Each structure stands twice: as C-alpha cells, then as structure tokens.
Amino acid sequence: MAKVIAIANQKGGVGKTTTAVNLGTGLAEEGKKVLLIDADPQGSLTISLGNQHPDKLENTLVDIIARVVNEEDIEERYAVIKFKDGVDLIPSNIELSAVEISLVNTMSRELVLKSYIDSVRDEYDYIIIDCMPSLGIMTVNALACADTVLIPVQAAYLPVKGLQQLIKTIYTVKRRLNPNLEIEGILLTMVDNRTNYAKDIVLEVNDVYGKTIPVFPIEIPLSVRAAEISSMAKSIYDYDPKGKAAFAYMSLTKEVLAHGC
C-alpha cells in the first residue's frame, strides 16, 4: 500500500514542483512505483514532465474529482500519463481553479481526493501530491489523504515567516480530518551557503522548528541547473547527474525511504 506524501507550502516559488519531480524520480530509481499528482491549477508539474499544453489534455485531475463527486466509476488508469518507467502522472490545468468553487456545496468536500487515492493506493509504493501555493480546499484535500507532509522552504526571511500558518493548518487537518497525518520534514531549498544570510536562515529554522518538527539534514543548494529542468522534461538525475542538486535530491530520497512506507 502506497505512502502518500503531500508537498505543501502556501508560498510560491519555494521548490515544491522541483522537489516532487526529483523525489518521485529518485524513488523510481530505487525500484519504487510512484504516482505524481499535480494538484496545482498552474500545471507546473504537468509541464515539467513534458506536457507543454496542459489545457489541451483530454483528462486531468479535474475529471477525476468530477467523477468522484458524481459517484461515477473511474476506469483503471483514467487520466494517468506515463512519464517514465516507475513514474506515472495525473496532470492538472487551469480548470482546477474552478474546482474549489464547485466543491463548496459538496458533501464531505475535504475528502473527495481521499476517495480516489484510497482506490489506487495498492497500485503504487509512493503517491506524491504537488499542492497549489495556497491553503484552500484542494490543499486541505491533499492533507486529508496524506500520510505525511513534506514542506519545502526557500532559505529566505518571508518564506520562513509563512511557515507558521501552514503548520497551524496541518495540525487543524490532523485534529479534524486525518489523525494519522504527520510532518515528513521541513526541506530547506535554494540555499546559497556562500552567504551568511542563508546560513542564518538555516540556523533560525532549526532553532525555531527543529525541536518539535523534523528538519531534513539535507539542504537543496541554489542551482541554475535545477531551475532549468522544468523546461527540459527531465529530472535532475538525467539533466545534471553529477551536480550538487542531484546529490542533494538523492540524499533526500534515501532519507524518505529510511522513514518507510
């Protein structure tokens, strides 16, 4: 049965999608079967995996949610795109932005995605959900069905300050919807260790949160090559296998594997 990991942060541009791509690919390299779910209407994960025109895709996460809400059957591999051996994708596009409005009057609206995830858990070892940069109903849906939350945080002042609201939301979901939800860890991203500023931010995160929330010992370095992969439809292991970012993401993969399913 799959372990479900939500990658969440209401702040945009902190490396959620890059982390989803490289963690998912890294787990597949270790022999795991992985499903990546793009739960962001911007479709960044979908585009990063080679689908340059997500709005033209026939079936997406939007269609899955509609079928769940309407209690319609979902055939095997419906809306699933194969990215590479061991990695499948459920894509998204701008239509997902309307889903939050449509779910307002839906019974058990926070558990719609969980209903689908539960039906495919046995087919994968890991299911990774790339959440939108907000704490709206779709992000709550992701948290409600996840086993753990991985929180990428850019090594900068404002993203770190925004952690408090996210953590509050996670614990609210844990109390009300998903008592098994845990925090996989805070992952510091875009870390430029040449500067004292970045080093101070890393120390602050460990001091403020490290006593109660896991903080990954791995830091994802600031890397132009890592930023470029979204336009190349490749993981960092294929694009820059000997770079520091590839080494860091492989270390993260091993850390996640060590936490177990």
Q: List pLDDT tens digits, range 117-169.
A: 999 999 999 999 999 998 899 999 999 999 999 999 988 777 677 788 899 99
Hey, what are 261's tokens? Answer: 């399913």
Mean pLDDT of 234-256: 92
Q: What distance lies between CA 260 and its chain's CA centroid?
A: 17
Hey, what are 38's tokens? Answer: 């793009």
Q: Is the pTM of this model over 0.85?
A: yes
Residue 78: pLDDT over 90: yes
* pLDDT the model gives residue 261: 60
Cα–Cα distance list, 77 to 1, 43, 61, 85, 221 (Å): 17, 19, 12, 15, 36
Close Cβ partners of 134 (under 8 Å, ≥ 6 residues apart): 10
Q: Please report where in the chains the tokens 């870390």 appear, as a residue.
A: 191
Name the residue ranges covered by the structural domains of the chain: 3-259
Q: List pLDDT tens digits, range 203-228.
A: 888 888 888 999 999 999 988 887 78
User: What is the second-level CATH architecture of the domain 3-259?
Assistant: 3-Layer(aba) Sandwich (3.40)
Q: Check: CB of residue 246 under 8 Å from CB of residue 218.
A: no
